[in-house]
């Protein structure tokens, strides 16, 4: 926390969930900047700076990506595969944050190169606690490959 | 032998090979006979090598040599005798008292009458008028006339060498002193026989001479005898038969000059002159050097001759060579014509032999060929074939054995075929039973695997369903609990600004849950057809669906075109109605900013399958999303209303009816066409 703007890319199609996540981060002042996209295609456009996100000002490379799995247009697993297949993006930590606790999803996420797999807790306190810890861990304790 | 083998044998047509037995026999016999004939002919002609039998050719040659030798010996004998006689004669003349007396008288008279070197005819006439001269002249003339062989005789004075008496008056007074015969006779008591030389008259002349002595035994005169070589000696050589057209006898002296005229012209066409032409042919050479014998060599013309050569001694020193020869070609002419005859006979014999051996070969091989063709027919499967050979020889016996063998084979074959027929029947029956059993078994197996596939599909779907439900039902639950928590905190902190928003979110999440639960119930019901299947005109379905979503269609301002004649399908009417309702609703919902929104419903028949379509010119679907849209709760637009279950339900209904559904779209903005296949009417339930 040295005052540098830390960036999170949130890929989440459920607007209510996105709102909950955003509020948790706001309350705990975890992130300086939260970018939110609602489908897999938009996420890839953002990361690879295509279409609406061609301007690097609008799409800074995030320090961590929070990725839902069930996404419209392009599935979250596919988004994960493409990030990890890219030489520039594969070093960005990707934290899968989804409702699914299915073993199948966990296995394929790690196989596709996920750095962490988190299931959204139904309980509100646990949810806010997770967001809190997540922020501290990935944006506080964790060292990033770039500053 | 089975039928296939027989067929193959038939294909190899029994074309007779070139080297058939018949050809071999004919060629073999002919060759052998011709070879024997040739050997006999050649041996007869040339003799057997390394044996005493030397053949007709050599015999003929020996014969020719014998003939030539005989002739040569005869001629030699005759010449020698003639010379001996001459020798004796001249001796007798010279010793004759009358001659001796008269010679002395003539000499004396001549010394008076004839001046030295005088050619006075009167003086000679005077001398001739002398009695003793007359007598001598008469004597000499008598001899000359008696022995026609003498050309002339004369007597020369021993002292002066002058011819004093002569049968030729022109010769009187001639000088003999330089002549060899004169010189030789003066010193010898014997007759002198000279070599043939050119005589006074320019002809080759043979001189014989003898000294005449006077009373006191001193040389008085020389008696000289002249013989024309060609006329007398040549005639002697050439008389007699046995030398054919080309044969001749010739004489050469020691210097190899020919002494008599030659029968033939020289190789270059000129005629050789006696005493001038120097002969170099080998027979003449050998004869001149004093040898005798026979030889086959080239003569003066270069023609090959057979020759016998003899040496003829003349006096004590001189000798002639005599060659008796005949052209080989002429000598061998009889053999050649013999050979021609022999070869003609041989040719005729060869033709006869070939014809004969062909005939023999044919008659020998005919039964064999018959046997062979019968065996070929049998081997090709015709067991009724028999060899028609009537001869009683070995071939005939072989044919009988063969026929008997075929008879046996035929018997066995028929027996075997009977057995095979019986076995085949049994096998066919067994096979049929087995096939039926297999078919039953296979049918059961198919049923089983169908069932397994169905169960597996159903299992997988259940799994997918459970997963989807847990995920999609959990999602609104998180929202509800989350915003309830937020609401609680806000209220605790006395913040009321977001209460409304929080409450609205909670409410809509609860509604979403309710909707999801309803739709899941609906989906679970689709698995089994609830209404009995019936024939449904597709036009009814299309019109019904359009009527049910007329609200949405009006809102989008779309025009709907339904094809006038649509086929009838077989299925669950309410469910199929649901499919069409969903598709038309979707088409109207995703029209975008299209100024002339149109929805078209129609069908296309491909063989036994009917394909229906619902086509719009709305937003379209990019190819990469075309598979996902049929998934449970999959939506392309998170903000659009609906749970994303509609197309999943559609797909499920179509699949339950045994059909397929897919979408075609060239991408965003190009509209989409949903295709679905359904069973045509009256095709039983599945």
B48 has pLDDT over 60 = yes
Of A82, A8, A70, the C-alpha closest to A38 is: A70
Which pLDDT does position B686 carry in this prediction?
A: 41
Q: CB-based contact (8 Å) between A123 and chain B? A: yes
Strands A64-67 and A94-98: parallel
- From B529's Cα to the closest Cα of chain A, the distance in A is 31
- From A88's Cα to the closest Cα of chain B, the distance in A is 25
- Summarize pLDDT for B352-410 with one digit per residue, the tens: 888 888 888 888 778 788 888 888 888 888 888 888 877 777 778 888 888 888 888 88
- From A26's Cα to the closest Cα of chain B, the distance in A is 13
- From A122's Cα to the closest Cα of chain B, the distance in A is 5
Counting every residue, how long is chain B? 686
Query: Do A17 and B628 count as a contact with CB atoms less than 8 A apart?
Result: no
- From A73's Cα to the closest Cα of chain B, the distance in A is 5
Query: What pTM value is reported for the model?
Result: 0.42
Query: Do B471 and A75 count as a contact with CB atoms less than 8 A apart?
Result: no
- From B551's Cα to the closest Cα of chain A, the distance in A is 27
3-state helix, strand, coil in chain B (%, to 5): 55, 15, 30
Contact B88, B142 (CB under 8 A): no
- From B530's Cα to the closest Cα of chain A, the distance in A is 32
Which pLDDT does position B683 carry in this prediction?
A: 45
Residue of B632, B638, B640 to mutate, testing the A interface (most A Cβ within 10 Å of its Cβ): B638
Query: Do B479 and A14 count as a contact with CB atoms less than 8 A apart?
Result: yes
Residue of A77, A118, A119, A124 to mutate, testing the B interface (most B Cβ within 10 Å of its Cβ): A124
Residue of B468, B478, B484, B624 to mutate, testing the A interface (most A Cβ within 10 Å of its Cβ): B478
Rounded Cα gap, residues B610 and B603, in angstroms: 7
Q: Which of A15, A23, A123 sits opposite B481 (nearest CB)?
A: A123
Average pLDDT rounded to a whole number, residues A87-101: 91
* Confidence band for B9, pLDDT divided at 50, 70 and 90: very low
Produce one character per residue of B266-284: b if its CB has 16 or more CB atoms within 10 Å, e if not. eeeeeebebbebebebbbb
Q: Which of A100, A123, A127 sits opposite B471 (nearest CB)?
A: A100
Q: CB-based contact (8 Å) between A75 and chain B? A: yes
Min mean pLDDT across B91-95, B303-307, B530-534 is at: B530-534
Instruction: Enumerate the residues of chain B whose CB falls inside 8 A of the CB of residue A123.
Output: 481
- The DSSP annotation for B339-404 comes to HHHHHHHHHHHHHHHHHHHHHHHHHHHHHHHHHHHHHHHHHTT-TT--------SHHHHHHHHHHH
- Residues 570..609 of B with a Cβ closer than 8 Å to A: which? none
Q: How far is CA A66 from CA A18, A35, A109, B360, in A?
A: 10, 10, 13, 114
Q: CB-based contact (8 Å) between A91 and chain B? A: no
Q: Which helix (H) or strand (E) holds B206?
A: strand B204-213
Q: CB-based contact (8 Å) between A14 and chain B? A: yes
Query: Do B478 and A70 count as a contact with CB atoms less than 8 A apart?
Result: no
- Residues 421..480 of B with a Cβ closer than 8 Å to A: which? 467, 470-472, 474-475, 477-479
Q: Which of A98, A99, A124 sits opposite B484 (nearest CB)?
A: A124
Residue in the block written with tokens 């379209």: B620
- Summarize pLDDT for B559-595 with one digit per residue, the tens: 899 988 888 888 888 888 889 988 998 888 888 888 8
Alpha carbons within 13 angstroms on the beta-carbon side of residue A47 total 33
For residue B121, give both structure tokens: 């005819």
Which pLDDT does position B1 carry in this prediction?
A: 43
Q: CB-based contact (8 Å) between B628 and chain A? A: yes
- Summarize pLDDT for B218-237 with one digit per residue, the tens: 888 888 888 888 777 777 77
Query: Do A14 and B471 count as a contact with CB atoms less than 8 A apart?
Result: no
Count of A–B CB contacts within 8 Å?
A: 69
B464 or B401: whose pLDDT is higher?
B401
Query: Do A20 and B486 count as a contact with CB atoms less than 8 A apart?
Result: yes
- Residues 499..518 of B with a Cβ closer than 8 Å to A: which? 505, 509
Most confident region among A25-29, A42-46, B456-460, B601-605 by mean pLDDT: A42-46
Instruction: Enumerate the residues of chain A whose CB falls inside 8 A of the CB of residue B481.
Output: 122-124, 127
The residue of chain B with its CA nearest to that of A72 is B636
B11 has pLDDT over 60 = no
Contact A38, A15 (CB under 8 A): yes
Which pLDDT does position A93 carry in this prediction?
A: 93
Average pLDDT rounded to a whole number, residues B47-68: 78
Q: What angle do CA A120, A122, A124 make, to 5 degrees?
A: 100
Of A22, A133, A101, the C-alpha closest to B483 is: A22
Interacting residues of A121 by C-beta distance below 8 A, sequence separation 6+: A127, A130, B478
Average pLDDT rounded to a whole number, residues B99-108: 85
- From B487's Cα to the closest Cα of chain A, the distance in A is 11
Q: How far is CA B345 from CA B38, B348, B540, B664, in A?
A: 11, 5, 117, 105
Average pLDDT rounded to a whole number, residues B195-212: 83
B433 has pLDDT over 60 = yes
Q: CB-based contact (8 Å) between A16 and chain B? A: yes
What interface predicted TM-score (ipTM) does this complex get? 0.88
The residue of chain B with its CA nearest to that of A103 is B467
- From A101's Cα to the closest Cα of chain B, the distance in A is 8
- From A144's Cα to the closest Cα of chain B, the distance in A is 30
Query: Do A72 and B475 count as a contact with CB atoms less than 8 A apart?
Result: no
DSSP state of B680: B
Which pLDDT does position A1 carry in this prediction?
A: 42
Alpha carbons within 13 angstroms on the beta-carbon side of residue B264 total 16
Strands B609-616 and B673-678: antiparallel
Q: CB-based contact (8 Å) between A73 and chain B? A: yes
Q: CB-based contact (8 Å) between A108 and chain B? A: no
Rounded Cα gap, residues B662 and B650, in angstroms: 11
- Summarize pLDDT for B628-637 with one digit per residue, the tens: 787 766 666 6
Q: Which of A19, A72, A124 sits opposite B638 (nearest CB)?
A: A72
Q: How far is CA B192 from CA B22, B205, B219, in A?
A: 86, 14, 15
Which pLDDT does position B2 carry in this prediction?
A: 47
- Summarize pLDDT for B129-162 with one digit per residue, the tens: 888 888 888 888 888 888 777 888 889 888 888 8
Interacting residues of A40 by C-beta distance below 8 A, sequence separation 6+: A11, A71, A72, A73, A74, A75, A76, A78, A79
At B14 the three-state DSSP class reads: coil
DSSP state of B248: E
* Confidence band for B638, pLDDT divided at 50, 70 and 90: low
- Summarize pLDDT for B283-305 with one digit per residue, the tens: 888 888 888 888 888 888 888 88
Residue of A26, A73, A102, A103 to mutate, testing the B interface (most B Cβ within 10 Å of its Cβ): A73
Which pLDDT does position B277 carry in this prediction?
A: 85
Contact B220, B230 (CB under 8 A): no
Contact B126, B118 (CB under 8 A): no
Contact A122, A101 (CB under 8 A): no
Which pLDDT does position B12 carry in this prediction?
A: 47
Residue B325 β-bridge partners: B248, B307
Residue B668 β-bridge partners: none
- From B447's Cα to the closest Cα of chain A, the distance in A is 32
Which pLDDT does position A115 carry in this prediction?
A: 94
Q: What angle do CA B546, B548, B550 make, to 5 degrees?
A: 65
Q: In what order do the strands lie in the sheet with A116-119?
A: A33-37, A7-11, A64-67, A94-98, A116-119
Query: Do A14 and B633 count as a contact with CB atoms less than 8 A apart?
Result: no
Average pLDDT rounded to a whole number, residues B439-457: 89
Contact B226, B206 (CB under 8 A): yes
């Amino acid at each position: 926390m040295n005052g540098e703007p830390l960036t999170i890319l949130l890929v989440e199609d459920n607007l209510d969930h996105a709102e909950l996540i955003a509020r948790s981060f706001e309350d705990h002042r975890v992130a300086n900047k939260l970018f939110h996209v609602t489908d897999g295609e938009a996420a890839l456009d953002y990361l690879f700076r295509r279409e609406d996100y061609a301007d690097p000002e609008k799409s800074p490379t995030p320090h961590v990506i929070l990725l839902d799995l069930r996404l419209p247009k392009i599935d979250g697993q596919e988004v994960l595969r493409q990030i990890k297949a890219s030489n520039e993006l594969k070093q960005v930590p990707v934290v899968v944050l989804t409702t699914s606790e299915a073993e199948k999803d966990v296995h394929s996420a790690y196989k596709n190169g996920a750095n962490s797999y988190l299931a959204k807790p139904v309980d509100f306190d646990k949810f806010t606690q997770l967001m809190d810890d997540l922020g501290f861990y990935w944006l506080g304790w964790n060292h990033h490959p770039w500053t | 032998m089975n039928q296939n083998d027989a067929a193959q044998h038939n294909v190899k047509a029994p074309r007779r090979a070139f080297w058939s037995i018949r050809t071999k026999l004919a060629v073999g016999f002919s060759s052998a006979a011709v070879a024997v004939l040739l050997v006999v002919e050649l041996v007869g002609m040339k003799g057997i090598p390394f044996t005493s039998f030397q053949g007709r050719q050599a015999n003929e040659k020996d014969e020719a040599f014998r003939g030539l030798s005989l002739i040569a010996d005869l001629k030699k004998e005759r010449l020698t005798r003639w010379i001996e006689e001459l020798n004796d004669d001249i001796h007798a003349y010279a010793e004759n008292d009358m001659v001796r007396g008269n010679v002395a008288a003539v000499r004396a008279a001549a010394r008076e009458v004839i001046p030295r070197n005088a050619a006075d005819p009167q003086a000679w006439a005077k001398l001739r008028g002398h009695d003793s001269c007359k007598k001598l002249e008469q004597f000499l003339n008598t001899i000359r006339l008696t022995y026609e062989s003498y050309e002339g005789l004369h007597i020369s004075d021993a002292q002066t060498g002058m011819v004093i008496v002569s049968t030729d008056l022109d010769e009187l007074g001639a000088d003999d002193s330089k002549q060899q015969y004169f010189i030789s006779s003066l010193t010898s008591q014997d007759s002198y026989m000279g070599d043939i030389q050119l005589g006074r008259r320019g002809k080759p002349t043979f001189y014989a001479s003898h000294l005449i002595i006077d009373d006191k035994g001193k040389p008085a005169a020389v008696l000289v005898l002249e013989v024309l070589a060609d006329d007398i000696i040549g005639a002697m050589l050439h008389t007699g038969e046995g030398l054919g057209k080309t044969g001749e006898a010739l004489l050469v002296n020691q210097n190899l000059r020919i002494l008599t005229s030659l029968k033939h012209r020289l190789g270059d066409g000129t005629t050789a002159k006696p005493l001038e032409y120097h002969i170099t042919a080998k027979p003449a050479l050998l004869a001149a050097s004093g040898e005798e014998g026979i030889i086959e060599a080239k003569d003066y013309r270069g023609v090959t001759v057979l020759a016998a050569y003899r040496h003829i001694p003349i006096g004590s020193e001189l000798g002639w060579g005599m060659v008796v020869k005949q052209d080989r070609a002429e000598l061998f002419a009889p053999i050649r014509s013999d050979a021609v005859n022999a070869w003609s006979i041989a040719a005729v014999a060869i033709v006869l032999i070939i014809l004969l051996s062909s005939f023999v070969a044919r008659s020998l091989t005919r039964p064999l060929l018959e046997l062979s063709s019968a065996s070929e027919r049998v081997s090709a499967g015709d067991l009724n074939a028999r060899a028609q050979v009537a001869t009683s020889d070995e071939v005939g016996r072989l044919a009988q054995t063969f026929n008997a063998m075929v008879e046996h084979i035929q018997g066995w074959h028929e027996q075997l075929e009977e057995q095979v027929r019986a076995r085949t029947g049994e096998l066919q029956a067994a096979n049929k039973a087995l096939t039926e059993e297999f078919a039953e078994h296979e049918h059961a197996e198919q049923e089983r695997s169908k069932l397994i596939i169905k169960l597996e599909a159903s299992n997988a779907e259940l799994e997918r369903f459970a997963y989807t439900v847990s995920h999609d039902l959990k999602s609104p639950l998180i929202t509800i609990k989350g915003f309830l928590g937020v609401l609680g905190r806000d209220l605790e902190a006395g913040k009321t600004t977001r209460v409304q928003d929080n409450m609205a979110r909670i409410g809509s999440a609860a509604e979403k849950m309710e909707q999801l639960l309803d739709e899941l119930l609906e989906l679970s019901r689709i698995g089994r057809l609830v209404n009995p299947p019936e024939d449904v005109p597709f036009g009814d379905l299309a019109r019904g669906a359009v009527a049910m979503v007329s609200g949405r269609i009006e809102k989008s301002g779309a025009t709907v075109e339904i094809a006038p004649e649509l086929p009838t399908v077989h299925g669950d009417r309410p469910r199929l109605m649901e499919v069409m309702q969903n598709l038309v609703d979707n088409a109207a919902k995703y029209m975008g900013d299209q100024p002339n929104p149109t929805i078209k419903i129609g069908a296309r028949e491909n063989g036994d399958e009917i394909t229906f379509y619902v086509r719009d010119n709305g937003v379209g679907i990019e190819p990469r999303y075309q598979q996902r849209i049929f998934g449970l709760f999959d939506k392309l637009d998170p903000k659009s209303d609906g749970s994303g279950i509609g197309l999943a339900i559609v797909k499920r209904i179509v699949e339950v009816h045994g059909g397929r559904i897919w979408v075609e779209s060239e991408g965003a903005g190009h509209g989409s066409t949903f295709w679905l296949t359904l069973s045509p009417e009256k095709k039983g339930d599945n």
